[in-house]
Every structure is written in structure tokens, then in C-alpha cells.
């Protein structure tokens, strides 16, 4: 099998049906397949082989979709990186996966200049807006043949690597197979029974496992239409959204907040949207209730993690919705609750959430020891705390891992603290997640200044932004005299 063949099937059955919409551009399934095949031919000519890694570094654009499918079509592995990543972050990701090619969007070339100079494994850079030494995406679409048979692979062959701070507090590449992603993308067809009439809004980033699986792969497998949005800008989005008649989409809670409270959404009609999925972070009951009241549409809250491709459970349209839960497990996935000794706990008892099934990752790329730490005895240990009820619905109650979830992104405290402690004015630091209705949580840095120094909080935040993506950086800095820590070194208080 090859996951890219879901495009072949749609192109064969309905070649003229719209696959992608981007601004005023419409791309049919036959056009999409030809674009994928041209890029596949270009990658092979550039020396890309089965098992090689190819990085994509761009937002929600048609070029991302073509790149994603073209890479896996050749048998290579697509590494989907966040275009908001700093050069500091990219150097780690690229150094870890050692890609032979990078396909980047506008304004991304400058970030990879150093990698091009020092990474002898990097053979080719393809860009939407090419700079010196780069190949133009448009040039490929003009010059290469539009036929390329998908490389036949075992379902356990790796397809995608997504860097996540993992379950261990540092960035690791979760490797997902063709079978993992094929199984996880059955939600729209098998669970909801939808087909080509599906119209999905790809508003959350497609480099993110949630965005790719739910909004892209689910919709393409159904033969539906994906509406691509590169930047969230409600005043510009709403007029376009009114025409799209979206009927299916996965959002993070921040989007539901915007649709509920943003002034430009005052007269928005969302009556076409009958499957609205919330994931990526806890959805507050206030936003849930106000959104449902305003639009007369229910929200189906789900749960997942990158290491599970990502969806694990979902309050779907075929079961009673329990909005204070994240639903029962999806088909071919099993949820358990274990104690600290790895023993199963009964219904209603809180413990660590563990999962197993067809969507669980192959492992962390090049990190067998770390993989064995989180996958034990056939179970993926998630680091999330929760319990199951009598109907098999999962309720999440906390985190075992040192994690802050903001705007749907996981931020591991260790990564940010390691950057902040490098600042010459910082003697000690701890991160705190502060509740926020729109973002779920925002990051506050509690800092002990070096003796005799009067640091500037704005300068410290600027320092952090030089190294880390903006969503990882604190929005508030509080200075204290001392941070107290437990025997394991975890902050337990300050004064």
C-alpha cells in the first residue's frame, strides 16, 4: 500500500471534482494528482530514495498538500516542520532527521541558509519563491511529467515524521507509518459515512498531526473538498467562509473562541457545519455552551496525541455526546487506565491513560531507548491522567508530564527553561501555565535574577523569541527571590 493512493482513487472516480480551494484557486483531483506526480518525478531525479527524509516547511497551501503526498509516494518519509520554527529549532530538527531535500514556502529560505552550508546530506531545496541555488516549485510543475506510479510499500513502512516534545520533555520525531495514518483517516468515511459532499476547513496547521489527519487525510479519503487557510485572520476569513458552506472540520479551542466572540463573526451563519470537532487542548465548558447556543451546533470533543497519529477517542455523531469527556475510543484503538506500576485500574479510578491499536506510532526516529520508555508491553503510555466511565468514555483530569498546552500546541517546560537559563540575568527559572479562556493556558516565567541585576522582562521575552517559536515563549515574567524544588528538581513554590 501507499497512503498517497487515496488521491489516485478520488482522481479516478471523479477527476473534475474540487479537491482543494485556496483563496480564489480551485484544484481538481486530476490536477492535484498531476501536481503530486510532477513533484515525485523531480524528487527522484534529485536523488531522493525510499527511506530518505524530505522536510516540508510551509503553511496550509496547495504546495504543502502536493509535497506531503509526493514525498510518501516515492517511498521517502515526509518530515512536516512548523514554519514558525526559529533557526535554532530547525537546526535541531534537521540535524536529527538529516533530510536529503527540503521543500519550503515563502519567507522560509533564510532560516535554512546555515543548514545548506553545513549539511552535506542535504542535496536539494525546492521553494515556492526560490532564492539562489533553489529549485522553483512552479518550474517543476511546468517541466516534469505528470505520471508517477506510487511505490508499493508494506503498511508498516514509515510515511511521516512529526517532531513533538514527545512524552519525555524534549523534541523527538514521532514516526508514523502508512498504515497508522490510513487507519486514523477513516473517521469521516467509516464513522460518519460521508463522501464527496464533505467540505473541510483546514484552518489549524497541516504540519500538526491533528490538522493533517482530520482536516486533510479524512477529507481526501472521502473524496471531499479541503479549504486551505494559511493564516487565521477572522475579518478576511469570514466573507470567504460564508461562501464555502463548510460541513466538517476539526478545530482547536482557540478557533471556537474566535467564532464565538470575534466581532466579525456577529452575523456568521454556520448552519452547514454539522460535524465540529474540538481537539488539541481542553475545551472549556463556557466556550462549548456559548458556541452551541450561538450557532445551534454541537461540538464533539476528542483526544489524541502525535504518537497515536493522532486521534484516540472522540464524541462522534453516532454516540451520545458527553461534552465533559473526550469520548470513547475510535475503531481499532483501545484505551486503558494504569497505575504507576503499570497495572490496569477499574472503571472510575483515575490513573495514567494508556492506548494501543492500529494508529500507535512506529517509534521515535533514531531513538530506540526513548521509544521503549513510552511503549511498554504493547501500550503507549501517554503521560495524561484520567478515568473511564461505564460506557467507555474517557475523562481527562490532569497531566503526569511537565507540559503546558497553549492554543492547541504542547509546550514542554524543560525546553523553554533551558533557553531562559542561558540569559545572563537569569539565575533560576520555572514555567507556569496560567488559565486563559481563549488559549486554554498562557505561559508565565517565574525567574530568580542573578544577584545585583535588575533584569527587564521585555528583554527576556525578546531573548526567548530569538530561539523558540512564539507560542513557546512566556507572555508574562514574574521575578521572585527564590524557587523551591522537590527532590526531583521540580519547582514546588517560590517567594
Range of the domain at 420: 403-494
Q: How many CB atoms lie within 10 A of CB 107?
A: 13
DSSP string, 212-274: IIIIIIHHHHHT-EEEE-SS--HHHHHHHHHHH---EEEE-HHHHHHHHH-GGGTT---TT--
For residue 435, the domain's CATH number is: 3.30.300.30
- Cα 283 to Cα 265: distance, rounded to the nearest angstrom: 19
Domain count, the chain: 1
**Grid cell at residue 20:** 482543494
Q: Domain for residue 444, yes or no? A: yes
Residue 488 lies in a domain: yes
Q: Within 13 A of 44's CA, how many CA atoms are on the CB side?
A: 19
Report the alpha-carbon angle 6-10-15, nearest 5.
145
Q: Tell me if 461 is assigned to some domain.
A: yes
What letters, b where the CB count within 10 A reaches 16 and e where it falls short, cover 333-345?
bebebbeeeeeee
Q: How far is it, in rounded angstroms, from Cα 34 to Cα 489?
A: 55
Confidence at residue 444, expressed as pLDDT on a 0 to 100 scale: 95
Domain contains 452: yes
Question: Per the domain annotation, does 469 fall within a domain?
Answer: yes
Q: Confirm whether 407 is domain-assigned.
A: yes
- The verdict on whether omega for the bond into residue 310 sits within 30 degrees of 0, i.e. cis, is yes
164 falls within a domain: no
Report if residue 484 sits inside a domain: yes
d(CA 54, CA 161) in angstroms, rounded, equals 10
247: CB partners within 8 A, 6+ apart? 197, 198, 199, 272, 273, 274, 275
Contact 61, 22 (CB under 8 A): yes
The alpha-carbon radius of gyration of the chain (Å, integer) is: 22
The predicted structure's pLDDT at residue 109: 82
pLDDT in tens for each of the 495 residues of the chain?
999 999 999 999 999 999 999 999 999 999 999 999 999 999 999 999 999 999 999 999 999 999 999 999 999 999 999 999 998 899 999 999 999 999 998 888 888 877 777 788 999 999 999 988 899 999 999 999 999 999 999 999 999 999 997 666 678 999 999 999 999 999 889 889 999 999 999 999 999 999 999 999 999 999 999 999 998 888 888 888 888 899 999 999 999 999 999 999 988 999 999 999 999 889 999 999 999 999 999 999 999 999 999 999 999 999 999 999 999 999 999 999 999 999 999 999 999 999 999 999 999 999 999 999 999 999 999 999 999 999 999 999 998 878 888 988 889 888 899 999 999 999 999 999 999 988 889 999 999 999 988 889 999 999 999 999 999 999 999 999 999 988 877 788 888
H-assigned helices in 245-388:
253-261, 285-295, 368-374
How far is Cα 246 from Cα 226, in angstroms, rounded to an integer? Answer: 9
Write out the DSSP string of 433-467: EEEETTTEEEEEEEEEEPTT----HHHHHHHHHHH
Amino acid at each position: 500500500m501507499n497512503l498517497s493512493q487515496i488521491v489516485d482513487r478520488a482522481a479516478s472516480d471523479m477527476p473534475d471534482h474540487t479537491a482543494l480551494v485556496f483563496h480564489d484557486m480551485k484544484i481538481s483531483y486530476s490536477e492535484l494528482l498531476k501536481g503530486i506526480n510532477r513533484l515525485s518525478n523531480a524528487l527522484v531525479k534529485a536523488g531522493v530514495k525510499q527511506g530518505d527524509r524530505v522536510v516540508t516547511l510551509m503553511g496550509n497551501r496547495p504546495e504543502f498538500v502536493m509535497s506531503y503526498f509526493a514525498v510518501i509516494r516515492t517511498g521517502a518519509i515526509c518530515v512536516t516542520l512548523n514554519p514558525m520554527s526559529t533557526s535554532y529549532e530547525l537546526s535541531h530538527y534537521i540535524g536529527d532527521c538529516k533530510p536529503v531535500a527540503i521543500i519550503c514556502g515563502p519567507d522560509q529560505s533564510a532560516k535554512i541558509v546555515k543548514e545548506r552550508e553545513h549539511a552535506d546530506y542535504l542535496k536539494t531545496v525546492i521553494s515556492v519563491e526560490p532564492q539562489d541555488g533553489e529549485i522553483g516549485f512552479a518550474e517543476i510543475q511546468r517541466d516534469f511529467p505528470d505520471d508517477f506510479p506510487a511505490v508499493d510499500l508494506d503498511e508498516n513502512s514509515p510515511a511521516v515524521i512529526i517532531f513533538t516534545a514527545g512524552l519525555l520533555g524534549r523534541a523527538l520525531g514521532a514516526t508514523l507509518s502508512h498504515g497508522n495514518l490510513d487507519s486514523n483517516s477513516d473517521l469521516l468515511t467509516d464513522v460518519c459515512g460521508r463522501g464527496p459532499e464533505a467540505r473541510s476547513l483546514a484552518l489549524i496547521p497541516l504540519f500538526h498531526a491533528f490538522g493533517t489527519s482530520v482536516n486533510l487525510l479524512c477529507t481526501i479519503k472521502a473524496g471531499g473538498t479541503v479549504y486551505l487557510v494559511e493564516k487565521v485572520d477572522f475579518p478576511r476569513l469570514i466573507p470567504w467562509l460564508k461562501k464555502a458552506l463548510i460541513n466538517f472540520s476539526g478545530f482547536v479551542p482557540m478557533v471556537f473562541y474566535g467564532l464565538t466572540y470575534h466581532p466579525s463573526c456577529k452575523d456568521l451563519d454556520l448552519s452547514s457545519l454539522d460535524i465540529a470537532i474540538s481537539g488539541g487542548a481542553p475545551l472549556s465548558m463556557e466556550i462549548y455552551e456559548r458556541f452551541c447556543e450561538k450557532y445551534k451546533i454541537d461540538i464533539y470533543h476528542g483526544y489524541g496525541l502525535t504518537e497515536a497519529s493522532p486521534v484516540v477517542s472522540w464524541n462522534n455523531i453516532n454516540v451520545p455526546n458527553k461534552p465533559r469527556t473526550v469520548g470513547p475510543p475510535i475503531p481499532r484503538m483501545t484505551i486503558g487506565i494504569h497505575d504507576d506500576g503499570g497495572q490496569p485500574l477499574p472503571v472510575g479510578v483515575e490513573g495514567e491513560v494508556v492506548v494501543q491499536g492500529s494508529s500507535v506510532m512506529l517509534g521515535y526516529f533514531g531513538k530506540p531507548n526513548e521509544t521503549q520508555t513510552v511503549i511498554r508491553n504493547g501500550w503507549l503510555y501517554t503521560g495524561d491522567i484520567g478515568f473511564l466511565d461505564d460506557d467507555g468514555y474517557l475523562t481527562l483530569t490532569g497531566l503526569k508530564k511537565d507540559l503546558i498546552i497553549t492554543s492547541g500546541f504542547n509546550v514542554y517546560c524543560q525546553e523553554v527553561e533551558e533557553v531562559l537559563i542561558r540569559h545572563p540575568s537569569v539565575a533560576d527559572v520555572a514555567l507556569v501555565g496560567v488559565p486563559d479562556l481563549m488559549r486554554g493556558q498562557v505561559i508565565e516565567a517565574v525567574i530568580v535574577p542573578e544577584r545585583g541585576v535588575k533584569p527587564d522582562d521585555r528583554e527576556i521575552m525578546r531573548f526567548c523569541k530569538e530561539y523558540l517559536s512564539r507560542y513557546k515563549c512566556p507572555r508574562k515574567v514574574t521575578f521572585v527571590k527564590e524557587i523551591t524544588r522537590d527532590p526531583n528538581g521540580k519547582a514546588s513554590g517560590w517567594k
